[in-house]
Amino acid sequence: MNNVKAYSAASAKSPLAPTTIARRDPAEHDVQIEILFCGICHSDLHYARNEWSDVMPTIYPCVPGHEIIGRVTKVGYAVTKFKPGDLAAVGCLVDSDGTCPQCEAGLEQFCPNMVLTFGSQDKQLGGGTLGGYSDTIVVDEHFVLRVPSNLDLAAAAPLLCAGITTYSPLRHWGVTKGKKVGIVGLGGLGHMGVKFAHAFGAHTVVFTTSPSKKEDALRLGADEVVISRNADEMAKHVGSFDFILDAVSADHDINAYINLLRIDGNLTLVGAPDKPLSIPAFGLIFGRRSLSGSPIGGIAETQEMLDFCGEHNITADVEVIPIQKVNEAYERLLKSDVKYRFTIDMASLRSE
Ligand code: NAP
Ligand code: ZN
């Protein structure tokens, strides 16, 4: 067992603060990674503050972080995919049973026994699994991803959650050229959704509450931008969308978006507000529209997404911060003041 530096929250009301945590020694199939960059997902904030207490009560102390890129420092003797010195990445999943039909289909995100990078029970060490706001992490090689060598590492880290969480539903719902696609909320997830929808050839429309993000939305690949608080702008799009991806982190009027779907159109929620959303039946009935959700993606699809990003030179737009600024970054997330993902340079943790 190794003791390593990390940042953790001790309770829903306490800020993240420096601490020391235990990491297991790499077992036969494990890869030990020195973390170089870790993105800040809004899920980190929801979880650290126990906002999902009904579904997933937080295990304290909690170390968030599931957008991890680093360098391999040690491998177990049976590891074949990685060797010390390789770049490696870890997303939201660190284990699953490997035997259920979902795992056999490469859909580990639906495994009943999946282990999340933070917030699951740690079978080896007890307590909760601890995430990437830390010096190192030890993960079974099946859950470790390869990073295309042409990508900037700080900007690639957010692909491990924001990237796969938007790539997967856009692929699942057949977003291609000729489709009209909406992306709601231009934060970490939303801006990756725009990049992918654009790369897949769809006519891409961004819905934002922040007029100051309009120019950026166009630069990121949007064909049109709608200020969602403007009812006239919204009305122009009624009944016209094949697919809408909702990446909003807080309570909002989802019916306004259901009404924008065409017949048989689908709205998929990836945003996970703490409070239930109100869904009027008629918005769905008229137009046989459907409403879905989507969690992250499986390991094979995550690798596919990373390779796609390597081929098309796609990364997140990041503001790189030292870990000492993580609490400030959380406050800015709550004000939608992020362009468009914070990434922690983990060298700042080691120099403390
Ligand atoms: P983020 O960077 O904070 O972006 C959220 C965006 O939502 C904001 O930038 C803002 O965009 C919009 N927004 C915020 N408050 C709003 C409000 N009251 N009304 C309308 N729009 C509002 O968050 P993120 O990291 O992208 O995560 C977004 C959500 O997805 C979170 O709930 C997170 O937990 C969830 N998530 C889910 C999965 C999954 O597997 N399904 C994975 C990762 C994250 P504008 O300024 O453009 O309006
Ligand atoms: Zn996330």
Range 108-114 average pLDDT: 98
Ligand nearest to the CA of 192: 1
Range 87-106 average pLDDT: 98
Range 30-59 average pLDDT: 97
Q: Is the CB of 334 under 6 A from ligand 1?
A: no
Assign domain 2-161+297-350 to its CATH superfamily: Medium-chain alcohol dehydrogenases, catalytic domain (3.90.180.10)
Q: Is the CB of 272 under 6 A from ligand 1?
A: yes
What are the extents of the domains in the chain? 2-161+297-350, 163-293
pLDDT tens sequence across 236-277: 999 999 999 999 999 999 999 999 999 999 999 999 999 999
CATH number of this structure's domain 163-293: 3.40.50.720
- pTM attached to this predicted model: 0.98
The rounded percent of the chain whose pLDDT value lies above 90 is 99
Question: What's residue 352's pLDDT?
Answer: 85
C-alpha 70/C-alpha 80 separation (Å) is 18
Q: How far is the CA of 41 from the centre of ligand 2 (A)?
A: 4
For residue 129, pLDDT beyond 90: yes
Q: Is the CB of 221 under 6 A from ligand 1?
A: no
Question: What's residue 198's pLDDT?
Answer: 98
pLDDT tens sequence across 68-84: 999 999 999 999 999 99
For residue 115, pLDDT beyond 90: yes
Burial class of residue 235 in the structure, from the number of CB atoms within 10 Å of its CB (0-12 exposed, 13-18 middle, 19+ buried): exposed
Q: How far is the CA of 244 from the centre of ligand 1 (A)?
A: 14
Q: How confident is the model at residue 97 (pLDDT cuts 50, 70, 90)?
A: very high
Ligand 1 atom with minimal separation from the 162 CA = 43
- Chain-centre distance for alpha carbon 171: 16
Q: Which is nearest to 46 in space by CA: 191, 195, 189?
A: 189
C-alpha 151/C-alpha 68 separation (Å) is 14
What distance, in Å, lies between the first and last C-alpha atoms of the chain? 22
Range 292-299 average pLDDT: 98
The answer to whether 160 and 302 have CB atoms below 8 angstroms apart is yes
Nearest CA to ligand 1 atom 4: 187
Q: How far is the CA of 118 from the centre of ligand 2 (A)?
A: 10
Nearest CA to ligand 1 atom 1: 187
Q: Is the CB of 270 under 6 A from ligand 1?
A: yes
C-alpha 143/C-alpha 130 separation (Å) is 15
